[in-house]
Structure 1
């Protein structure tokens, strides 16, 4: 979904200056837009940060739209975006690439296959690092030089020194407090400018449901907006975990409710994802009062 964002003239000019007008390699990795920011300042600040060659850390609850935010920046800058999905298994090969056997003139040779970090650097495109605090603390320092003013790395597999091309930028996302996450060390955190990404609510959520789901019944849409508001409030009060208020899960429920009853759609999309019986009952009670 492409949105005509109402941006200030100076930001439009900045975007036009930095926007890639040539069809780049890896054009299939240019993502679709569609993120609806709760405040336009979020998008304005992100465009400003990336255009200055600085890194962005999107920080916020699960399902708030951080990945969609990053994809929208890829669309606005017309830049392909390589992705790294962090986990405890993330290693140097997952980030940088690996060696493999290949054939050249019928002879067996060792060939290096670049990973997402090397690809983004050498092609001057965007790099998205999802759930960056899921990686082991000893893994990410491998790319410290990529994330600071040097924009360089010595490839440990080839001993080649690689410097990022013009246009290279990094967007990372973080979910705090989840099982398996670790606090970012100061050296890594200081390489980013942080943007807090809150939940989408009210009129913007209503528009998002209308444009991104199959649900068309206005009354039902209003009820889902109210349900989302109640869930976000319960999360802020510590009554529910962040999973319960996921916008992604809510949109799934809206989609399903265009075919099956809304209560059952909420059960499948939201309630059944919750681990604690207390939370499941709480959300079902909210649902019963609305639908």
Structure 2
């Protein structure tokens, strides 16, 4: 459910798109919470990892889901060796350690669970732990960060106004073509011509208007295709496996994506020469 990451020895690769770095660092220095809004696979998680490195803060990541309870975040009593022992949850650990706590896709969690964030997200910067009868003040350096995809969640799964108004918002989108090409070439270790070809395919898929696509082609799936190419798969096979397959289960839409791949992706090795 949660991942604790100490400060990485090397900075995670992230290419800024606008002023998101400046906004995030200013918010953290001021003790403000941050909400990252943007489509799946556009780099929100990598951005948080890079910011944790820059700020020299450990990172605690929680992948939110609809079974996530307050106890999962805050902690619970467990029976160990015949004795009852309190065990901190990831949110409590981050509060105590002054870490960055990143709740990925926060609206997937139940709203009664996310209410626990309110006293942390505003000027109080406190975490009440009812089971212990204590209230923790966030250690210096603590920063609460949440993310979600406004275009994916339904009206029933949205961030409460009372939660979002406690946070500084940073909007994310897919990078400009030249930036995305640079990301693909670096992350997938492929040449820039091949990366540019995948970016053009991704842009074409993002322009499609069809109900059969679960999501548009993200930077993440383009990188996956590039990595398969780096492993020796033909570019078209790589694109079918990493892009067309994950985006839809609709056979008609799949055929359309395969036709687009054949039109935009060249299997000839001349691109690599």
Q: Same fold (TM over 0.5)?
A: yes
- The residue number in structure 1 matching 2:12 is 33
1:262 aligns with 2:235: yes
Q: What is the Cα-based RMSD across aligned positions, in Å?
A: 2.1
SS of 1:268's partner is helix
- TM-score, with structure 2 as normaliser: 0.87
Kept after mapping to 1: 8 A contact 2:181/2:195: yes
Kept after mapping to 1: 8 A contact 2:42/2:174: yes
1:44 Cα shift? 1.6
Deviations 1:142-167 (Å, cap 9, x if unpaired)? Answer: 22111111111221221121111111
1:177 Cα shift? 4.2
1:249 aligns with 2:221: yes
Tell me: CA distance 1:27–1:251, structure 2 relative to 1, closer, same or farther (3 Å).
closer
- The residue number in structure 2 matching 1:141 is 115
Tell me: CA distance 1:28–1:272, structure 2 relative to 1, closer, same or farther (3 Å).
closer
- TM-score, with structure 1 as normaliser: 0.82
- The residue number in structure 1 matching 2:95 is 121
The whole-number CA distance in structure 2 between the counterparts of 1:179 and 1:36 is 27
1:228 Cα shift? 2.0
Deviations 1:49-74 (Å, cap 9, x if unpaired)? Answer: 22211111110110101101111110
The whole-number CA distance in structure 2 between the counterparts of 1:228 and 1:162 is 46
Question: Structure 1: which 5+ residue stretches go unaligned?
Answer: 1-25
- The residue number in structure 2 matching 1:190 is 165
1:214 Cα shift? 2.9
Number of residue equivalences: 258
Tell me: CA distance 1:68–1:242, structure 2 relative to 1, closer, same or farther (3 Å).
farther
The whole-number CA distance in structure 2 between the counterparts of 1:27 and 1:89 is 20
